[in-house]
Amino acid sequence: MDLKPVSIGIDIGGGSTKIGLVDPDGNIIVNEVLKLKEVNKPEQLLEAYVAKITSWADEYRDCQLQAIGVGVPGHVINGNRATDICNLPFLNRFPLADYLEEKLQLPVWVENDATFAGVGEYRYGSGQGSKRFLLATLGTGIGLTFIENGHVLTTGNGTLGDIGHMIVDKNLTYQCRKGCWGCIESVASGVAISRDAIQLAQENPDSYLARVYKTENRHPTVRHIIDGSIQGDPTCIKKLNQTADWLGLWVCNVVQIFAPHRFAFGGGWSAAGQGFVDKLLERAKSVGIEDYYKSLTFVQATKGNLAGVLGASSVAFDHAKKS
Ligand SMILES: [Zn+2]
């Protein structure tokens, strides 16, 4: 029996990891979200992946594992072997690829998570057929990936620098986790929205956010701002529009740098739908140079939160072929 070649895509997030077994055409054979509570050592985290991959190798006997791609929420160092300045500080400078290679005897390739999401969307989703493709990931943090004719552009550390930290707020009201003032992450990331949503809930006791926060005893998030807006809650609509204003300025700046043909949006804010994406386009156009928008389309990303797993597995195949 011919064994089916498969690779493993791993997308490490702040609170959980997405992991999948994927074939060379981007079909996900199985995937899971591993929620790991109170993990604060790299070995703890990586052993959970080793256990999952070992159990899949045992279960899917008609598949042959070729390689592993690991997306990390931080910079990539040591020739795609490890991460640094990561949202999970205990992973900083840990020899992640060496550890997994030794345990699983498979080649491992480490990449920034936004880069993998971009590759996933480019090869299997919203970026297919586009010559100059941008993917913005509007999630816990804000990431951007640029792909031109199939090649991912990075400027250092496996990313487009810190493009999620472009300054957009002239009042410089908020400081972000990296220490800059008034950057797009400090006003529009999932972390920023959760911070503001609690304040809005307290200031507007009749609002949808106050109901979520006080009655349901939950911390309001981007999802609640979107849900509240759909229900017509004025506080949520105002916050959504304010965030679209800021994001629109950021979008205008990156459009004028990269001159994309297609610009896709994923992450938590993409749940607000094409209407939200259109708001970003309108805002960017209203302040920017018109020429850039003549042959540019704004779309929602289509691979959702599995884009990172798809990109990771696909790039892992590329490197398995080379090795
Ligand atoms: Zn910042």
Query: What tens digit of pLDDT does each residue of 227-261 get?
Result: 999 999 999 999 999 999 999 999 999 999 999 99
Q: Tell me, in angstroms, the distance from the centre of ligand 1 to residue 163's CA.
A: 9
What parts of the chain have a pLDDT lower than 50? none
Q: Tell me, in angstroms, the distance from the centre of ligand 1 to residue 179's CA.
A: 6
Q: Tell me, in angstroms, the distance from the centre of ligand 1 to residue 14's CA.
A: 17
On the 0-12 / 13-18 / 19+ scale of CB atoms within 10 A, 34 is middle
Q: Report which of 199, 190, 194, 198 is spatially closest to residue 164, judged by C-alpha positions.
A: 190
Q: Tell me, in angstroms, the distance from the centre of ligand 1 to residue 314's CA.
A: 30
Give helix 222-230 / helix 234-258 axis angle, nearest 10°. Answer: 120
Place of tokens 């220490």: 179
Q: Tell me, in angstroms, the distance from the centre of ligand 1 to residue 153's CA.
A: 21
Q: Tell me, in angstroms, the distance from the centre of ligand 1 to residue 71's CA.
A: 21
> How many residues are recorded in the chain?
323
Q: Report DSSP state, residue 39.
A: -
What angle (nearest 5°) sits at the alpha carbon of residue 249, between those of residues 311 and 11?
20
Which residues are near ligand 1, the ion (C-beta closer than 5 Å)? 165, 176, 178, 180, 183, 185
What residues are paired with 10 via a beta bridge?
19, 70
What residues are paired with 12 via a beta bridge?
17
Q: Tell me, in angstroms, the distance from the centre of ligand 1 to residue 176's CA.
A: 5
Q: Report which of 48, 71, 53 is spatially closest to residue 8, judged by C-alpha positions.
A: 53
Structure confidence at residue 159 (pLDDT): 87
Q: 292 phi and psi, to 5 degrees?
A: -65, -20
**Per CATH, domain 4-118+306-322 is 2.60.40.10:** no
Query: What tens digit of pLDDT does each residue of 54-72 get?
Result: 999 999 999 999 999 999 9
d(CA 22, CA 128): 18
Structure confidence at residue 13 (pLDDT): 85
Q: Tell me, in angstroms, the distance from the centre of ligand 1 to residue 269's CA.
A: 18
Structure confidence at residue 31 (pLDDT): 97
How far lies 40's CA from each of 91, 93, 297, in Å? 9, 14, 42
Q: Tell me, in angstroms, the distance from the centre of ligand 1 to residue 253's CA.
A: 16
**Residue 300: partners with Cβ closer than 8 Å, 6 or more residues away:** 126, 264, 265, 266, 270, 273, 274, 277
Q: Tell me, in angstroms, the distance from the centre of ligand 1 to residue 214's CA.
A: 30
Q: Tell me, in angstroms, the distance from the centre of ligand 1 to residue 132's CA.
A: 26
What's the CATH fold of domain 130-301?
Nucleotidyltransferase; domain 5 (3.30.420)
Q: Any idea where the domains of the chain sit in the sequence? A: 4-118+306-322, 130-301
Q: Tell me, in angstroms, the distance from the centre of ligand 1 to residue 17's CA.
A: 24
Q: Tell me, in angstroms, the distance from the centre of ligand 1 to residue 18's CA.
A: 26
Q: 35 phi and psi, to 5 degrees?
A: -100, 115
d(CA 37, CA 219): 18
**DSSP code string of 174-209:** -B-TTS-BSBHHHHHSHHHHHHHHHHHHHH-TTSHH
Q: Tell me, in angstroms, the distance from the centre of ligand 1 to residue 281's CA.
A: 23
3-state secondary structure of 108: strand
Query: How many C-beta neighbours within 10 Å does residue 61 have?
Result: 9
Q: Tell me, in angstroms, the distance from the centre of ligand 1 to residue 174's CA.
A: 9
The reply to whether domains 4-118+306-322 and 130-301 share a CATH topology is yes
Q: Tell me, in angstroms, the distance from the centre of ligand 1 to residue 192's CA.
A: 11
Structure confidence at residue 321 (pLDDT): 79
d(CA 74, CA 156): 12
Q: Tell me, in angstroms, the distance from the centre of ligand 1 to residue 190's CA.
A: 13
Query: How many C-beta neighbours within 10 Å does residue 95 have?
Result: 13
Q: Tell me, in angstroms, the distance from the centre of ligand 1 to residue 156's CA.
A: 17
Torsion of CA 158, 163, 164, 168, to 10 degrees: 170
Q: Tell me, in angstroms, the distance from the centre of ligand 1 to residue 124's CA.
A: 31
**Residue 55: partners with Cβ closer than 8 Å, 6 or more residues away:** none
